[in-house]
Structure 1
Amino acid sequence: MQYRRADVKGGTYFFTVNLAQRHLRLLLNHVEILRAAVKTVKQRHPFHIDAFVVLPDHLHAIWTLPPDDADFSTRWMLIKSGFSRHITMNERRNASRISKGERGIWQRRYWEHLIRNENDFERHVDYIHYNPVKHGYIHQASEWPYSSIHRYIKAGVITNDWGCGVDSNDKSDYGER
């Protein structure tokens, strides 16, 4: 079966992008390189970042693309390659990656989900902001420095104590149904 990605011009998408070696902390160790890669791609291929969180070994994002554009794949390829070019090459690479001249930093594929309505959007934003708590890195979502939650708090959309008191095993309100 051939996998087909959603192709909606001007669509809003949720993404999960993982490192190939999930035990590494490359994304936090080099978060400024990641930010620069995203900024460079955004300048050349505009999109709006609705929500974003960076964890040690993966990231989640929600983007809205321009009305005449559905090409998020090129954007992710450019972000991943822009990041990789600035990281010292010492990762494991299998024969396939070596033969294709690929680095072994990122998983080749990523998860994408077309946001379907306002409720779907809100659930995925909540999932993004709660993810560092879910993984046990912090106790309160606002403690995580690499998250768009701070923009939502500053705008008054949520309070600084948002997500406190939620059982981290109860994911029903945080995008994992």
Structure 2
Amino acid sequence: MSRYLRPRVVGASVFFTVALADRRARTLVEQVDALREAVRVTKAERPFRIDAWVVLPEHMHAVWTLPEGDADYSVRWKEIKTRFTKSVGRVGPRSASKIARGEAGVWQRRFWDHHIRDERDFAAHLRYCWWNPVKHGFVERPVEWPYSSIHREIRLGQVEPEWAGITFDGAFGE
């Protein structure tokens, strides 16, 4: 079995994809308040900046920037996933290995991460987060999706409200 070693870059900005084990579930949007609380508590204990976040029914994308001197995003995700699972009190189908590890079966075991290389890469991944609900056919414009940080960015004047109407081909770095 291969062993994946995650990069340990202090103060990095990182793009994530985190998914539920059941890719047909709607648990994340149905229990979005529990997810927000899990993030809030974890962030208070182990600070990080949320640059973008979008929650879809069965997966989510986020861009975080870690504090200087800190590279441990895996522990943060473990805490968020654990708190959410305990809060909603659900157990999904579990394989023998998940049972042996004491896992509830709600989440896919791993998550996908990409360390941001530069400002262009950063901007592309922010756009990807915001555009994802459109890509999956949930809405026609990013601003129509309620579970997205694009609303915060528009409110703070960091993204023009008109951005929500542009087309996006999904390619990074464009």
Fold similarity call, TM over 0.5: yes
RMSD: 1.5
CA drift at 1:165? 4.7
Structure-2 residue corresponding to 1:37: 38
Structure-2 residue corresponding to 1:63: 64
Q: Secondary structure at the match of 2:114?
A: strand
Greater helix proportion? 2
Segments of 5+ residues of structure 1 without an aligned counterpart are none
Q: Secondary structure at the match of 2:51?
A: strand
Structure-1 residue corresponding to 2:122: 121
Counterparts of 1:28-177 in structure 2, within 5 Å, are: 28-166=29-167, 170-172=169-171, 175=172
Deviations 1:99-147 (A, max 9, x none): 2211100000000011111000000000000000000000010011111
The answer on whether the counterparts of 2:10 and 2:66 sit within 8 Å (CA) in structure 1 is yes
The answer on whether the counterparts of 2:14 and 2:64 sit within 8 Å (CA) in structure 1 is yes
CA drift at 1:153? 1.0
The answer on whether the counterparts of 2:91 and 2:104 sit within 8 Å (CA) in structure 1 is no
CA distance in 2, matches of 1:8, 1:36: 27
Moved over 3 A (4+): none
- Tell me the matched-pair count: 173
CA drift at 1:161? 2.9
CA distance in 2, matches of 1:161, 1:69: 36
Q: Match for 1:121: what amino acid?
A: F
CA distance in 1, matches of 2:92, 2:139: 28
CA distance in 2, matches of 1:20, 1:100: 15
- 158-167 vs 94-103, which moves further: 158-167
Q: Secondary structure at the match of 2:88?
A: coil
Q: Secondary structure at the match of 2:127?
A: helix
CA drift at 1:158? 2.2
The answer on whether the counterparts of 2:91 and 2:106 sit within 8 Å (CA) in structure 1 is no
CA distance in 2, matches of 1:158, 1:43: 26
Aligned sequence identity (%): 48
Q: Match for 1:27: what amino acid?
A: L
